[in-house]
C-alpha cells in the first residue's frame, strides 16, 4: 500500500471573495474546481496598500473581474508566477496591462507538451513570457513584506516556490499541495528533480505552506517526508508489477491505482512513466527500445 499522506480536504472559503488568512496573506479562489485543481486556483495577495499577487490564475473573466474589484483601492506592484500551467499564469496577461505592473517568474514554459493520446487538463501556457526572470534566492519587496524565490523544478521545469520572510511561510504552488500529490508529467515534469526539490524543502525553516490549491499545511516536514515515502512506495509497486510479468505502463496503472477514479488514469500513467524514467536512470529497470510511455520495461 502507498504511504499514508495526511491530506487536508476540508477548509472554509468562498469563491470570488478576497479573504483574509493571516496578517499579510489574503486569497481569492477562482471558480475552476476540477480533479486537477481541487476547489480551484487560490490567487494569493501579499501585503496591504502595495501588494504582490501570486498566481493570478486561469483566463476566466469572472476571476479576473474579482481580482480587479478586490484590489481596486490598492496598488499591485508585482505579479509572481509559480509556474506556467493553464490554471496559474494566463490571467497575468490581461492583469499586467490593467494594473500596469511587471510579471516575475523563472522563465517561459519548458519542454512539456500535450502529447498523443495523453492529454491532461493541466496544460502548459506556451504564451507566457515573464518580464523579469527570477533565479533561486532572488528577493522582491514591498512595504512590510519580503519574498524570496525558491527554485523547485519537478512538477514543471520552471517551478518556483515563494518564501514570505515576515511570516516564515512558503507559497508552494503545485510543488507541495495539501489535498493531493503533484502530477509529474514528462518530459517537462521530472521525478528526479521533484524528489530533489522535496529534499530541498527539508533543509529550509518555513513552518507553514500555502499551496495554490487548497488550504495551508502545517507540520510541513512530516508532510514533505510523507510525499517522498509515497513516491518510493510507488517505485516499489512498479518493481512488483514488473516482477509479476507486467511490462506495459497501461497495464500497470489499473493495478497500481485500483482505488483511483479511472478518469485520472491518464495523469497516473504520466506519473508512472516519470517514476519509470527515474528507475531506468538509477539502473533498476531496463528498456530495450528508446524510452516512451508505450515502451516495454523489465527489471534490470
Chosen residue from 27, 78, 85, 293 binding Zn ion by CB under 5 A: 85
174 binds Zn ion (CB under 5 A): yes
Distances (CA, A) of 169 to 82, 138, 239, 254: 15, 16, 37, 38
- What minimum distance in Å lies between the beta carbon of 264 and Zn ion? 15
d(CA 105, CA 113): 19
Please give the grid coordinates belonging to residue 214: 487548497
Piece in contact with Zn ion (CB under 5 A), picked from 8-16, 54-62, 83-91, 286-294:
83-91
* Rounded least distance, CB 237 to Zn ion, Å: 24
2-10, 123-131, 174-182, 201-209 -> range binding Zn ion (CB under 5 A): 174-182
Q: Which residue is nearest to Zn ion (CB)?
A: 85
SS3 assignment, position 289: coil
User: How many residues belong to the site for Zn ion (CB under 5 A)?
Assistant: 2
Secondary structure (DSSP) of 110-154:
-S----TT---SS-B-TT---SEE--TT-EEEETTEEEEEEE--S
Q: Using CB under 5 A as the criterion, what x/- string covers residues 86-115 for binding Zn ion?
A: ------------------------------
Contact (CB, 8 A) for 90 and 55: no
Region of 77-85, 133-141, 223-231, 284-292 interacting with Zn ion (CB under 5 A): 77-85
Q: How far is Cα 66 from Cα 34, in angstroms, rounded to an integer?
A: 20
Rounded to whole angstroms, the Cα distance separating 78 from 71 reads: 13
Identify whether 61 is preceded by a cis peptide bond (ω within 30 of 0).
Answer: no
Stretch that binds Zn ion, among 64-72, 84-92, 100-108, 220-228 (CB under 5 A): 84-92
Residue closer to Zn ion, measured from CB, 148 or 174: 174
Q: Which stretch binds Zn ion (CB under 5 A): 50-58, 80-88, 138-146, 197-205?
A: 80-88
Region of residue 117 (phi > 0: left; psi between -120 and 50: alpha; otherwise: beta): left
Compare residues 85 and 109 and give the one whose CB is closer to Zn ion. Answer: 85
Closest separation between CB of residue 132 and Zn ion, Å?
21
User: Is the Cβ of residue 47 or residue 112 nearer to Zn ion in the bound state?
Assistant: 112
Residues 217-256 that bind Zn ion (CB under 5 A): none
In sequence order, what E strands does the chain have? 19-20, 25-29, 42-46, 50-54, 75-80, 103-105, 132-133, 139-142, 145-151, 160-164, 169-173, 208-211, 285-287, 297-299
Q: How far is the CB of 84 from Zn ion (least distance, A)?
A: 8
Q: Where along the sequence are the contacts to Zn ion (CB under 5 A)?
A: 85, 174
Amino acid at each position: 500500500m502507498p504511504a499514508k499522506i495526511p491530506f487536508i480536504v476540508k477548509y472554509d472559503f468562498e469563491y470570488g471573495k478576497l479573504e483574509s488568512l493571516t496578517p499579510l496573506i489574503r486569497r481569492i479562489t477562482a471558480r475552476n474546481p476540477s480533479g486537477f485543481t481541487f476547489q480551484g486556483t487560490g490567487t494569493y495577495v501579499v501585503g496591504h496598500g502595495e501588494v504582490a499577487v501570486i498566481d493570478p490564475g486561469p483566463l476566466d473573466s469572472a476571476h479576473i473581474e474579482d481580482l480587479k474589484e478586490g484590489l481596486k483601492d490598492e496598488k499591485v506592484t508585482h505579479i509572481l508566477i509559480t509556474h506556467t500551467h493553464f490554471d496559474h499564469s494566463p490571467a497575468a496577461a490581461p492583469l499586467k496591462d490593467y494594473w500596469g505592473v511587471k510579471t516575475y517568474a523563472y522563465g517561459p514554459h519548458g519542454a512539456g507538451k500535450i502529447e498523443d493520446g495523453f492529454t491532461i487538463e493541466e496544460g502548459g501556457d506556451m504564451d507566457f513570457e515573464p518580464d523579469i526572470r527570477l533565479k533561486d534566492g532572488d528577493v522582491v519587496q514591498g512595504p512590510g513584506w519580503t519574498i524570496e524565490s525558491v527554485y523547485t523544478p519537478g512538477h514543471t521545469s520552471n517551478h518556483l516556490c515563494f518564501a514570505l520572510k515576515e511570516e516564515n511561510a512558503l507559497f508552494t504552488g503545485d510543488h507541495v499541495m495539501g489535498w493531493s500529490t503533484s502530477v509529474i508529467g514528462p518530459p517537462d515534469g521530472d521525478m528526479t528533480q521533484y524528489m530533489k526539490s522535496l529534499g530541498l524543502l527539508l533543509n529550509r525553516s518555513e513552518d507553514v505552506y500555502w499551496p495554490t490549491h487548497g488550504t495551508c499545511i502545517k507540520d510541513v516536514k512530516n508532510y514533505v517526508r510523507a510525499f517522498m515515502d509515497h513516491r518510493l512506495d510507488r517505485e516499489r509497486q512498479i518493481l512488483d508489477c514488473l516482477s509479476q510479468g507486467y511490462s506495459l505502463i497501461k497495464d500497470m496503472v489499473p493495478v497500481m491505482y485500483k482505488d483511483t477514479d479511472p478518469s485520472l488514469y491518464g495523469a497516473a500513467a504520466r506519473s508512472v512513466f516519470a517514476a519509470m524514467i527515474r528507475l531506468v536512470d538509477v539502473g533498476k529497470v531496463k528498456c530495450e527500445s528508446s524510452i516512451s510511455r508505450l515502451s516495454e520495461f523489465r527489471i534490470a
